[in-house]
Amino acid sequence: MTAEPSPSVPDCLQLPAFRSISWQQWLPAQLASLPGRTIDLDTGDWSLSCRELDELLTALHAAGHDVHVVTTRCRNTLISATALGLTARLATHDHPAGEASADQQKRPESIAGLTVHRGTLRSGDHIETRGHLLIVGDVNPGGSASADGDVYVWGRLRGRAHAGRQGNGNAKIVALQLRPLQLRIAELVARGPDERPQPGLAEQACILDGAIAIEPASPPFAAQQP
């Protein structure tokens, strides 16, 4: 880290850790130190509604900056960002965005932590995490979940899921009811099965012989330590 007063990495605008002041007061001073035209936005713990985020983006746009990726630790902000059509990432509490990426450069195989999302992913919602992803709720048709590690759905998976986003072929997708539209593991893509799954049987998808296969979920389906 350089001796700059702002903790932000280059091309990344990080909102202050505590919401003590409104961003309208805080932003003008930061704009001068922003170099690039396209920037990443790290909203930290801020819970921003669709409208608040839209206002912030409009202010940034007026100053000549377009936001490319939004990183957040708050689920509401994540959904607001996806609703506005941005690429959004959920950072876990112990791994803020900056550190996690630095971590990954050091140990490319390592997967940082487990992100837990409570609630249903509805059509158009999209969640993307580094590490494993656990969704306590359903993934509805039109919704999608992707993770660098495994994707677990404690509910019905009826949308799309992508495990091992960075190319980890050992990643798997587990759901209490696996009825996806599409599954992806690493670079492989598979359409969901046409027939309905057996009720009351948790299933998992993983790569077997170079193709995605669905089988009953093996009991110790907790994340294996890398």
Partner 1 sequence: MTNSRTILICSGKGGVGKTTLTANLGIALAGQGARTVVLDADFGLRNLDLLLGLENRIVYTAQEVLAETCRLDQALVKHKQEPNLALLPAGNPRMLEWLKPEDMQTIAGMLSERFDYVLIDCPAGIEDGFKNAVAAAKEAIVITTPEVSAVRDADRVIGLLNTHGVSPVQLVLNRVRPKMMANQDMLAVDDVTDILALPLLGLVLEDEQVIVSTNRGEPLTLNGSASPAAKAYGNIASRLQGEDIPLMDPAKERRGIRARVRRLMQTKIF
Q: How far is 77 from 122, CA to CA, in rounded Å?
A: 15
Element containing residue 78 per DSSP (H, E): helix 75-83
Contact pick of 7, 141, 216, 226 for partner 1 (by CB under 8 A): 141
Burial of 52 per CB tally in 10 Å (0-12, 13-18, 19+): middle
For residue 23, the Cα-to-chain-centroid distance in whole angstroms is 24
Q: Where are the alpha helices (DSSP H) in 6-74?
A: 23-31, 50-62
Q: Please state the closest distance from residue 143 (CB atom) to partner 1, in A.
A: 8
Instruction: Name the one residue in this structure whose structure tokens are 């158009």.
Output: 124
Contact pick of 13, 15, 39, 79 for partner 1 (by CB under 8 A): 79
Q: How far is 82 from 159, CA to CA, in rounded Å?
A: 16
Contact pick of 8, 14, 71, 140 for partner 1 (by CB under 8 A): 140
Q: For partner 1, which is the closer residue by CB, 120 or 146? A: 120
Contact pick of 6, 76, 110, 146 for partner 1 (by CB under 8 A): 76
Q: Please state the closest distance from residue 14 (CB atom) to partner 1, in A.
A: 23
Residues, the chain, total? 226
Site string for partner 1, 98-137 (x = CB under 8 A): ----------------------x-xxxx------------
Our finding on whether 142 is near partner 1 (CB under 8 A) is yes
> Residues interacting with partner 1, by CB under 8 A?
49-51, 76, 79-80, 83, 120, 122-125, 138, 140-142, 158
